Structure 1
Amino acid sequence: MTEQSSGAAPRIRRTHLALFVKDPFASAPWYEDVLGMKVTARGKRWVFLTFGQKHHDIALIGVDDPETATRGAVNMQHYGLEIEGDMNELRRLYRMLLDKKVPVVKTTDHKVGLGLYFEDPDGHRFEFFLETVHDDEEGQRVLGGYNAPSDPFDLQPL
């Protein structure tokens, strides 16, 4: 047994997310329109979408009984999407969400970055995240020093 296979933690290259939704075919256009994703594959009960680098980043999977499907109290809190750009880009995205009537949940100062939280048609929460502390060691120090804050801040849409 090698040292690598004897309990060493995995080295994750990237992630993808699979979400249960009431109707993946009705939800997919929202992901294309709001998040700029592209559909890469469809099945009987699922749709795969990409941000453009890999075959899929998010999978939407239809629940067995859409009529009775509800989101439980224990569920995914949010899925963060780090954005390219600066504060004006975050403000522009805020305006885009408002214009598309996307439910905006909150804006948050995490001391290492700023977050803009919103919901998809099934109530899944997403975050556009603008990183403001770019050094990882400094980011860990800041998060620890502030106890991983989630303070509201005033973000004005462009």
Structure 2
Amino acid sequence: MSEAHATAFPDLALSHFELYVRDAARMEAFYTACLGFIVTDRGAGADAMVFLSRNAGEHHQLVLNPRPSGRPTDSPLDHISFRVADLAGVRRFYQALRAEAGVAVDAVSHGSTWSIYFRDPEGNRLEVFADTPWHVDQPCRFAIDLERDDAQLLAFTEQQLRGRPGFRPVAQWRREHGEAFGER
């Protein structure tokens, strides 16, 4: 890849992995007791996703997702996620992927992020996202239109989130969880 091509894209930082697991309780116990992760969120019900982190600045660095019945067992990985600094970065990757023949791109919000999901040529699922200014309890997912301008997308996202469990500014969520990570 040429240096000029590489600089046409925004910085991309590895953010988190989502793993399919057979025994979420056992995996949660391992990651908390042996690696010091803290549960930051969890879905509802017996087959709930578990969100874990070791960093107050990251809502989750690892997601444990109980394997849906019928899911092939050849890979425990649901997706690899990359963070960009802002919505413009998400849009830059979105445009590049849409220009590539045969690449399907799904644009969604998880409340705390604006995300695009797509697959590489070998079928591995990837996510590129930027943070929104809000937190909501997870899991949360709804479609977004990246053709909207920033102000429209911001207003639409906030309208979708108001009234959802855990809705608050992300800075408030980080302050509330900072002590759990040993921050004062």
Q: Is the structural similarity TM-score above 0.5?
A: no
Q: Higher helix fraction: Structure 1 or Structure 2?
A: 2
Please, what TM-score do these two structures have when normalized by structure 1? 0.44
Please, what TM-score do these two structures have when normalized by structure 2? 0.39
